[in-house]
Amino acid sequence: MSDFMKTFLGNQMPPHGHCYLWNDHLVYLHVISDSLISLAYFTIPIALVYLIRRRDDLQFNYIFQMFGLFIFACGLTHVINIYNVWYGAYWFSGTVKAITAAASVMTAIMIWPLMPKVLAIPSNTRLRELNEDLRQKSEQNALQRQELENVSLKLAELVNERTAELEEIRRIRSQLEKNNVELSRSNEAFQQFGYITSHDLKEPLRTISSMGQMLKQLSAEKLDDKERKMLDYMVDSSVRMSSLIDDLHSYTVVGHSQDALSEENLDDIVQTLLTDLSVKIEESGAKISVAPLGRAKVIKPQFQQLMQNMIGNAIKFSAAGRAPQIEIGRLNDSETELGIFVRDNGIGIPKAYHQKIFGMFQRLHKRGEYEGTGMGLAISKKIVDNHGGRVEVNSQEGEGTEFRIFLPK
């Protein structure tokens, strides 16, 4: 062996055993302790290597490697201590300690910059809290997802319902268009019928009435009472039929007139109408009071016919032994409607007939009691409907009648 190796590994210096006075118990104590310490030190790097291989995702693997080197060098120093009990290889021991010192210094230098990062790693308690929070959020997300699915299903149902409604609306609209076409045709046919009846049918009736009256005058002495009565029936029937045709024609032309709405003075219209009815008013002894009605947008000829029908009915259906008392005035207006009332003290209308009276050919009394065809109120309602308004009746049998007419402003 060379001098260097003898100096480095040899026994030129006294071993530690001399310090122990070669006491067997003391020697064994140090040897066994250093053996166990070195064995423990050598196993720790093995555990660190195992950790690094199994957890290659760890961000601080290099520091584990440094710890492994440092701990292995520490274990090696204890092995040298055992060797030095019998051999004084202090140069070898110093070299190993120098290596251990270098590894420990490098490890100490490298570990401090890692401290903030290591401290930033959540603790187990914090990880459990985060895990619990994540679990709760996961459950909430699951609930929200379920709610979203439920909303999606409801939305799909609403879309399907809306689609079905639109289909139904389209079907109804198509049916309405067909009905409107058919109604237009029916109205046109009805109007043509009205014109036909007012022109073509009235001519034979006038002939029958005229010939009947002439026959009654020329053959008055030759006819017996039964024959004269039959002749009177024939003339009266033709006159009544002519009046019915006139009323039917009036009903058909309402709504087909070319007259448009215009702002009119309603007081002037009513006063003109009262002048036209002055003879009938005087004969009946009626007293008519008219409050100011103001101005409104109406179809003048139709409004005049409406008021004529209302006043005429008030005079016609007066109570026996009691002069007609008729009042005409304004109701309390709303923002959208103008209200007019025509009130009388006549025979009244039973409540059961309040809606029926506005139908065509509706009569509540026998023909011999009151003249007329039963078309007056039907025409009046159609005029009000044509203005986009409404008509109401307030009456009790024997206590007079009040008609309320509401027209849009």
Q: What is the CATH number of the domain that holds 276?
A: 3.30.565.10
193 found inside a domain: no
| pLDDT (tens digit per residue) in 360-378 | 655 555 555 556 566 778 8
| CA–CA distance, 6 with 21 (Å, rounded to integer) | 24
161 found inside a domain: no
What range does the domain containing 354 cover? Answer: 258-408
* Tokens at 27, concatenated: 């020697």
pLDDT at 287: 92
What is 47-94 written as a DSSP string? HHHHHHHH-TT-TTHHHHHHHHHHHHHHHHHHHHHHHHHHS--HHHHH
| pLDDT (tens digit per residue) in 145-197 | 899 889 888 998 999 988 888 888 988 888 888 887 776 666 665 566 555 55
Tokens 């609306």 belong to: 169
141 found inside a domain: no
| pLDDT (tens digit per residue) in 335-347 | 788 999 999 998 8
How confident is the model over 378-382, as a mean pLDDT? 86
* Tokens at 374, concatenated: 């039963």
Last residue of a domain, one of 96, 121, 146: 121
Averaged pLDDT score across all residues of the chain? 81
Other beta carbons less than 10 A from residue 400's beta carbon: 24
Helix (H, G, I), strand (E, B) or coil at 365: coil
How many CA atoms, within 13 angstroms, populate the side-chain half-sphere of residue 316?
A: 16
Grade residue 291 by pLDDT with cuts at 50, 70 and 90.
very high
Task: Answer with the residue of higher pLDDT: 247 or 88.
Answer: 88
Q: Is the pLDDT of residue 206 over 70?
A: no
231 found inside a domain: no
| CA–CA distance, 127 with 26 (Å, rounded to integer) | 50
| pLDDT (tens digit per residue) in 1-37 | 566 666 666 667 888 888 888 899 999 999 999 999 9
Long-range contacts of 191-195 (CB under 8 A, 24+ apart): 191/252, 191/253, 191/256, 193/252, 194/248, 194/249, 194/251, 194/252, 194/253, 195/249, 195/252
Q: Is the pLDDT of residue 301 over 70?
A: yes
16 found inside a domain: yes
* Tokens at 38, concatenated: 């070195």
- Note the pTM of the prediction, 2 decimals: 0.46
Alpha-carbon Rg of the chain, whole angstroms? 61
How confident is the model over 33-47, as a mean pLDDT? 92
User: Cβ distance 40 to 79 under 8 Å?
Assistant: no
User: Cβ distance 311 to 288 under 8 Å?
Assistant: yes
> Quick one: what percent of the chain has pLDDT higher than 70?
76
> Quick one: what percent of the chain has pLDDT higher than 90?
15
Last residue of a domain, one of 73, 106, 121: 121
What is 198-244 written as a DSSP string? IIIIHHHHHHHHHHHHHHHHHTTTT--HHHHHHHHHHHHHHHHHHHH
| pLDDT (tens digit per residue) in 306-332 | 898 889 888 888 887 788 999 999 988
User: Cβ distance 325 to 346 under 8 Å?
Assistant: no
How confident is the model over 256-279, as a mean pLDDT? 83
384 found inside a domain: yes
Chain center to CA of 60: 61
| CA–CA distance, 317 with 371 (Å, rounded to integer) | 10
pLDDT at 372: 55
Last residue of a domain, one of 67, 102, 121: 121
Task: Answer with the residue of higher pLDDT: 23 or 220.
Answer: 23
| pLDDT (tens digit per residue) in 222-262 | 667 776 677 666 666 666 566 556 555 555 555 555 567 88
Tokens 């008021």 belong to: 307
Lowest mean pLDDT of 69-78, 174-183, 228-237, 272-281, name the range.
228-237
| CA–CA distance, 286 with 408 (Å, rounded to integer) | 31
Q: Is the pLDDT of residue 265 over 90?
A: yes
pLDDT at 77: 92
39 found inside a domain: yes
47 found inside a domain: yes
Domain count, the chain: 2
| CA–CA distance, 325 with 288 (Å, rounded to integer) | 6
Grade residue 199 by pLDDT with cuts at 50, 70 and 90.
low
pLDDT at 33: 94
| CA–CA distance, 60 with 159 (Å, rounded to integer) | 58
